[in-house]
Amino acid sequence: MTEQAARVGFLYPGHSAEDDYPRLEQMLGGGVRLTLVHTDIGTDAHRVDELLEMGATHRLKAALGELLRRPQDAVLWACTSASFIYGPEGARRQVAELAEAAGLPATRVSSTSFAFTGAVRALGVRRLAIAATYPDDVAGYFVRFLEADGAEVVQVSGRGIITAAEVGTLGREQVLELARGNDHPQAEAILLPDTALHSAAWLDDLETAVGKPVLTANQVTAWEGLRLAGDTAPRTGLGSLFRRTRHPDPVTTATV
């Protein structure tokens, strides 16, 4: 960990579960600063065409000025669907363009989709169950993104929720049931991929409910940001991912 506490900036699409980030900042402690700025998402819809527009780099770049009013050690596009929807190469280009616009090294910029692949490798798991809030076709893009990184998806379901705003209304019991209802005996971990889904307050509860690691979007996004900023200290209360000290090899997400 660097002598100065990590400062991580997040570009977050719209308004749904953004309050996970101040909660995560408090849970992380140690002076860590998580700064969040909202991006203009256009239409709030988990549909392929709308997600491609939501993740267009001109929308991300438009919010960078506000985010970079304070120095950031790392910057994350805090969105899963509007990064994996481009496929691995397109998501790398998205990150590369964002890094260039931010004036940061490519190794200090990432997105939630790459945070998931990094977290999977950090835990040393391969067989995954996906508990998605998205429609099935959108969830399929996430499956292919993970498989391109070497994972095996043994279970996937889409809840079919179109808007992030609706996802953000799901409470503790609904989120726990989402994980329980989409577990699989062969799965080594369960992934809940939507950053619109609240999870920060229930990370350990989720793992207790299913008896295995659970990775949620806002959790892995914060973890990735700290990792890129050089903070790899283990922490409790934030699930298996933060308790473990193993870390993946550096990922050149911005390499096109």
Confidence of residue 162 (pLDDT cuts 50, 70, 90): confident
Least Cα distance to 228 among 123, 106, 144 occurs for 106
State the DSSP code for 106: G
User: How far apart are the two ends of the chain, measured CA to CA in Å?
Assistant: 29
Look at residue 188 and give its three-state secondary structure: coil
Does the pLDDT of residue 189 top 80, yes or no? yes
CATH architecture type of domain 7-115+219-243: 3-Layer(aba) Sandwich (3.40)
Model's pTM, two decimal places? 0.94
The Cα-based distances of 75 to 11, 33, 60, 110, 229 in angstroms read 8, 12, 11, 7, 9
Q: What is the mean pLDDT of the chain?
A: 93
Segments of the chain assigned to CATH 3.40.50.12500: 7-115+219-243, 123-216
**Strand, helix or coil for residue 132:** strand
Give yes or no for residue 2 having a pLDDT over 50: no
Average pLDDT over residues 70-86: 97
What pLDDT does residue 161 have? Answer: 87
What's residue 8's pLDDT? 98
Q: Which single residue is written with the structure tokens 């709030």?
A: 44
* CB neighbour list of residue 123: distance below 8 Å, 6 or more residues apart: 188, 189, 213, 215, 240, 241, 244, 246
In whole angstroms, give the CA distance from residue 132 to residue 160.
8
User: Over the stretch 144-161, which tens digit does the pLDDT of each residue have?
Assistant: 999 999 999 999 987 888
Among the four given CATH numbers 3.40.640.10, 1.20.272.10, 3.30.499.10, 3.40.50.12500, the one describing domain 123-216: 3.40.50.12500
d(CA 166, CA 248): 34
The kind and range of the H/E element at 144 are helix 136-148
Q: Does 3 score more than 80 pLDDT?
A: no
Supply the pLDDT for residue 251: 47
Handedness of CA 86, 150, 28, 204 (dihedral sign): positive
pLDDT, tens digit (0-9, with 9 covering 90-100), for 225-249: 999 999 999 999 999 999 975 555 5
Residue 216 to residue 240: CA distance in whole angstroms: 11
Q: Residue 247's pLDDT is what?
A: 55
DSSP state of 22: H
